[in-house]
Amino acid sequence: MKLEARDLAYGYRGHVVGQGANLTLSAGEIVCILGPNGGGKTTLFRTLLGLIAPLGGEVLLEGSSLHRRPRSAIARMLGYVPQAHTGYFPFTVQDVVLMGRTAHLSPFATPLRSDREQAMAAIERVGLATLADSEYTRISGGERQLALIARALAQATPLLVMDEPTASLDFGNQVRVLETVVGLAKEGKGILLSTHDPDQVFLCADRVALVHRGRVTDIGPPQSGLDAGLLRDLYGVEVQVSELDIGGKTRRVCVPVAAQSAISDRE
């Protein structure tokens, strides 16, 4: 299962946000899109999901054009986890997650017991079993994000697209979400997620693509490809990329330089 962007130009009618994007996402891998806020990551994702039409180039799903496929076919292959938001109506967590099963229902059907069971399993997988009957609008931001991930899991797609899944979450919840993402990839899912935090990239990504000034550059595995120079170009600040030994494995971390020197000056 493969999602591919070829020479993709994306944006809104008359306004190009980015062009020349080349990306692939395959099952079992985690691809991160890294870039500053306002850089067009969400627009790119909406184009990859088929929610808006590409302005140039193409998006291919399993080798054929995404936009020619019916919605339900796309929804069986590609799941979407948006940023958590408040809802308009007091659906329960279970209601929201169950909606993920829509693609597997025939046009006039309502969810069957097997759908409800799958939804419940997804809720348990993300650790929200105790909140299954709570109102979606009344749980915390982190819990809402997990509920949306559960919905995508219930959708049972081989590929997932997650738009800033850790935005507005506290440190603990951020880590929990990333752990879930890593676990899903190990189970065989392909996950495309966007973030503005380089450390998250180092934590989970198999490959990273930088989105900056309308260009999308796939630089491969972050361990080898993502260095301080690129990050400086991306964010306009000085950073140092170091390697740490965590549990016997080497992991890169990104540390801002400027704050450190102020402290050391004071010492």
Q: Based on the shown chain and the rule CB under 8 A, indicate whether residue 13 belongs to the binding site for other proteins.
A: yes
CA gap 166, 84 in Å, rounded: 9
Measured between alpha carbons, how far is residue 14 from residues 10, 22, 51, 181, 212 in Å?
10, 21, 17, 36, 20
CB of 74 to other proteins, least distance (A): 7
Torsion of Cα atoms, 228 then 181 then 190 then 78, to 10°:
-120
Residues 136-175 that bind other proteins (CB under 8 A): 137, 151, 155
CA gap 195, 35 in Å, rounded: 7
Q: Which stretch binds other proteins (CB under 8 A): 46-54, 190-198, 229-237, 246-254?
A: 46-54
Q: Which stretch binds other proteins (CB under 8 A): 72-80, 182-190, 194-202, 246-254?
A: 72-80
Residues written for the chain: 267
Q: Based on the shown chain and the rule CB under 8 A, indicate whether residue 80 belongs to the binding site for other proteins.
A: yes
- Beta-carbon contacts of 89 under 8 Å, excluding residues fewer than 6 positions away, are 137
Q: Which stretch binds other proteins (CB under 8 A): 22-30, 70-78, 120-128, 224-232?
A: 70-78
Q: Based on the shown chain and the rule CB under 8 A, indicate whether residue 266 belongs to the binding site for other proteins.
A: no
Structure-block tokens of residue 125 = 């997988």
Return residues touching other proteins (CB under 8 A).
12-13, 46, 49-51, 70-72, 74-76, 78-80, 82, 86-92, 95-96, 99-100, 102-103, 105, 107-111, 137, 151, 155
